[in-house]
Structure 1
Amino acid sequence: MDRVTSGTVIKISKQWWLKINTKPVRMHALDGAIFPHIIKVQYVVDGRIYCKRKWIRAGCPVPPIGKAVEVRYREDRPQWAKVL
């Protein structure tokens, strides 16, 4: 059975190695480039702290550090979670 709790974004890292060009013609290397991000979310279940990472696609909004996000986890295995 799944449960939902609140987690906090503790780290954001931009994936510089995966550049996505949004323009057909560029004037310089980063002209029109967007990058995906990975966020690290910390959540607490029964007094124990867990961390989960989530891939954010390029162009999608990235929550800032300190923002609360929802985390769905398995009741029997809280380390198996999904950031919503």
Structure 2
Amino acid sequence: MTVTLMWEARATPGRGAELLAWARAQTLDGVPLRRETFAAPGDRVLVLTWWDAPYDADLPELPEPGSDLVTRQVHRWRFASHGTQDR
């Protein structure tokens, strides 16, 4: 089974680039199948990691950044893959 962990944070105003750099520099205890990092307007940063593991497996996640860097607690979700479609 492929499990995807989603980590999303919103930086304090004007610090989106700093939050993006912080997220990209974080290491995990383990190597995911894939890791992708995104940025969006509003100083938002999203990190997705894909793992070959059961849905309820204990998987490494990115930590909370310092409270001075974000406007709220990080949002985290876990998803189970049900396949992919290519064009």
Using the size of structure 2 for normalisation, the TM-score is 0.24
Q: Which has the larger radius of gyration?
A: 1
Q: Which has the higher contact order (CA 8 A, sep 6+)?
A: 2
The structure richer in helix per residue is: 2
